[in-house]
C-alpha cells in the first residue's frame, strides 16, 4: 500500500472518467472543464437520459453553485422560484406560514429557492455538457475497475468496451458500481423505513378555484405521513404532489430505484389508498389534494435508501461523490446541493498540479465529512414528522409546529438564520491549503 501511495504522489491527472450521467456526474464534468486542464469522459448506465423522477428542490447554497457553473439562468427559466411555505392542518386551518422560507439564506447568498423537474435539470446540464464538447456515452454498464497506480485506471463495460484514465470519479448514485466493485464493497445501502409516492399533474386539469390555491409549497401532516404540493415549473403549468410515509420495504417491483405505475388497475389502487388517507383532511385544501389524486395518470414510487455514515470515499485513483459516497434521506432538501459542493471542492483541489492525487482525496475527505454529517443528521431529524401516528399525536405535532412558526415570527428568529444557516454555506470559502483548519 505504501508503494502505491508513493507512486500516486508523483502522478498528476490529465484525464478523468466519470461514472454516472445524472446531475452529479454532469456537474462534475462541467466544473472540471471550467477550472482545470483535465479532460473528462462520462459513462452512463441507462440507454438514454432518464425520464424517471419528480420535482427536485434546490436550496440557495446549491443555486449559487449552479450560477458559478453557468446554468442558473437556464434552470430558473424552467423551475418555480416561489418560496412561500404553508403548513395546513388536517382540520382545514393553517398551522404555520412563511412568506419566504429561505429569507435569511437569500440575504446571505443572493439566491432563493427553486423547484424543478428532474428531467428539466438533467436537460439543462446535458445541453451545457454538449456545448462544452464533453463526451458522454450511454448504455454502459461498468463491470471491472483495474487501478494500476502510476499507469492509471482501466474500466471495462458489459458490452466489451474499455477506457483508461488517470482518475475515476464515481457519481453513480446510492447503488454505485464504483463503490461496490472497488472503493468500498462492504458499504451497503440500508432502507430508511420511509417511501415516497409522487406525481406531476398539469394545472389545466384542475378547476380554476383549485388552481388559484397553488403557490410555493403546501404541506399537510396526516396520520399516515406528510402530503406535499409544489409548483414544478416557471409557468406554473405543472404541479407536483407527493406523500412521504413510513412503510415496510415492499416485496415487489424494483425496490432499489423505484418504479413508475401507469397500469390503470394499479393506479386506481394507489388512488384508493390516497383517498383513505385523505378522508380525515378537511377544508378547501383537502378538496385540492383529492382533486390532484383524481387527476393523476401515473404514480412514481420510491423506497428511500441511505448509506450509513462512516464509509470510505476514496481508494487509489478512485473517488466517490454525491449519493455514491454519502446518500442521505431527502428530508433536508440538500441532495443535489451536497453533490455540487463535492464537485466544487474536488475541482478546486485538482486545480493545483503540484498537489498529489492521494493528498487531493485525503483533503477532500477531511473537509467534507463534518458538513456531510451535519446535513445527514438534519435529514434524519426532519423525517420524524412523517412517522405513522394516531389522531392525538397528530394534533400534538400540529401544536408543536404551530408554536415553532409563532416563535420564529415573534422573536425574529429568521433574521438570525434560525434553521437556515446551512443553506447559506459556501464550499468555496473552505481553506484548502495544508495545515489549515476547516472553516464554517
Structural domain range at position 57:
52-117+192-304+389-427
Domain identity same for 217 and 108: yes
Q: What is the pLDDT of residue 266?
A: 61
Supply the CATH number for residue 408's domain: 3.30.9.30
Assigned domain for 240 exists? yes
pLDDT given at position 263: 54
What does the DSSP 8-state code read for residue 248? P
Question: Alpha-carbon distance 101 to 345, whole Å?
Answer: 27
Residue 434 has what pLDDT? 64
- Is residue 433 a part of any domain in this protein? no
One domain, residues 368 and 379: yes
How many angstroms separate the CA atoms of 256 and 383, rounded?
Answer: 20
Question: Which neighbouring-strand residues pair with 41?
Answer: 17
Gap between the Cα atoms of 264 and 298, Å rounded: 9
pLDDT of residue 265: 62
In this structure, is the dihedral angle defined by the CA atoms of residues 188, 362, 435 and 36, taken in order, positive or negative? negative
Strand ranges (DSSP E) for 203-272?
217-222, 225-231, 238-246, 259-261
Residue 264 has a pLDDT of 59
Same domain membership, residue 294 and residue 204: yes
Position 301 scores a pLDDT of 78
Secondary structure (DSSP) of 324-339: HHH---STTS-HHHHH
Per-position b or e across 289-316, b if 16+ CB within 10 A of its CB: bbbbbebbeebbbbbbbbbeeebebbbb
Residue 135 phi, psi (nearest 5): -70, 140
CA distance 241 to 137: 33
Determine the 3-state secondary structure of 380 from DSSP: helix
User: Could you tell me if residue 439 is inside a domain?
Assistant: no
d(CA 162, CA 151): 15
Residue 23: CB atoms within 10 Å = 26
Q: What is the pLDDT of residue 5?
A: 47
Please work out, in degrees rounded to the nearest 5, the angle formed at the alpha carbon of residue 77 by the alpha carbons of 76 and 79. 60
Residues lower than pLDDT 70 in the chain: 1-12, 51-53, 249-267, 385-386, 413, 434-440
216/293 same-domain check = yes
Whether residue 416 sits in one domain with residue 398: yes
**Residue 26 counted as domain residue:** yes
CA 231 to chain centre: 18
Cα–Cα distance measured from residue 252 to residue 268, given in angstroms and rounded to the nearest whole number: 18
Query: Do 380 and 362 share a structural domain?
Result: yes
Do 236 and 285 share a domain, yes or no?
A: yes
Amino acid at each position: 500500500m505504501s508503494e502505491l501511495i508513493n507512486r500516486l504522489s508523483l502522478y498528476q491527472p490529465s484525464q478523468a472518467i466519470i461514472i454516472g450521467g445524472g446531475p452529479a456526474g454532469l456537474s462534475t464534468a462541467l466544473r472540471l472543464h471550467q477550472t482545470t486542464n483535465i479532460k473528462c469522459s462520462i459513462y452512463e448506465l441507462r440507454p438514454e437520459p432518464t425520464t424517471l423522477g419528480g420535482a427536485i428542490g434546490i436550496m440557495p447554497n446549491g443555486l449559487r453553485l449552479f450560477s458559478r457553473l453557468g446554468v442558473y439562468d437556464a434552470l430558473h427559466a424552467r423551475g418555480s422560484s416561489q418560496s412561500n411555505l404553508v403548513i395546513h392542518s388536517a382540520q382545514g386551518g393553517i398551522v404555520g406560514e412563511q412568506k419566504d422560507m429561505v429569507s435569511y439564506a437569500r440575504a446571505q447568498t443572493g439566491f432563493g429557492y427553486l423547484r424543478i423537474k428532474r428531467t428539466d435539470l438533467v436537460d439543462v446540464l446535458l445541453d451545457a455538457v454538449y456545448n462544452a464538447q464533453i463526451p458522454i456515452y450511454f448504455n454502459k454498464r461498468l463491470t471491472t475497475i483495474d487501478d494500476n497506480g502510476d499507469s492509471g485506471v482501466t474500466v471495462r463495460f458489459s458490452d466489451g468496451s474499455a477506457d483508461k484514465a488517470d482518475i475515476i470519479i464515481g457519481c453513480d448514485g446510492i447503488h454505485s458500481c464504483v463503490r461496490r466493485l472497488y472503493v468500498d464493497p462492504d458499504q451497503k445501502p440500508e432502507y430508511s423505513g420511509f417511501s415516497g409516492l409522487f406525481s406531476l399533474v398539469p394545472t389545466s386539469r384542475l378547476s380554476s378555484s383549485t388552481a388559484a390555491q397553488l403557490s410555493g409549497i403546501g404541506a399537510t401532516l396526516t396520520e399516515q405521513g406528510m402530503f406535499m404540493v409544489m409548483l414544478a415549473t416557471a409557468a406554473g403549468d405543472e404541479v407536483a404532489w407527493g406523500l412521504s410515509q413510513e412503510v415496510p420495504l415492499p416485496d415487489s417491483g424494483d425496490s432499489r430505484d423505484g418504479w413508475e405505475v401507469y397500469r390503470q388497475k394499479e393506479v386506481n389502487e394507489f388512488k384508493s389508498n390516497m383517498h383513505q388517507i385523505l378522508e380525515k383532511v378537511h377544508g378547501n385544501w383537502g378538496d385540492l389534494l383529492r382533486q390532484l389524486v383524481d387527476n393523476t395518470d401515473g404514480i412514481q414510487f420510491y423506497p428511500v435508501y441511505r448509506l450509513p455514515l462512516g464509509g470510505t470515499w476514496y481508494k487509489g485513483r478512485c473517488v466517490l461523490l454525491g449519493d455514491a459516497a454519502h446518500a442521505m434521506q431527502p428530508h433536508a432538501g440538500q441532495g443535489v446541493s451536497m453533490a455540487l459542493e463535492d464537485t466544487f471542492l474536488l475541482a478546486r483541489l485538482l486545480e493545483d498540479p503540484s498537489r498529489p492525487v492521494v493528498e487531493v482525496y485525503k483533503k477532500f475527505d477531511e473537509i467534507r465529512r463534518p458538513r456531510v454529517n451535519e446535513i445527514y443528521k438534519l435529514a434524519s431529524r426532519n423525517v420524524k414528522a412523517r412517522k405513522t401516528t394516531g389522531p392525538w399525536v397528530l394534533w400534538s405535532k400540529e401544536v408543536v409546529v404551530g408554536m415553532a412558526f409563532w416563535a420564529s415570527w415573534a422573536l425574529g428568529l429568521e433574521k438570525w438564520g434560525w434553521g437556515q444557516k446551512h443553506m447559506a454555506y459556501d464550499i468555496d470559502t473552505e481553506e484548502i491549503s495544508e495545515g489549515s483548519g476547516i472553516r464554517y
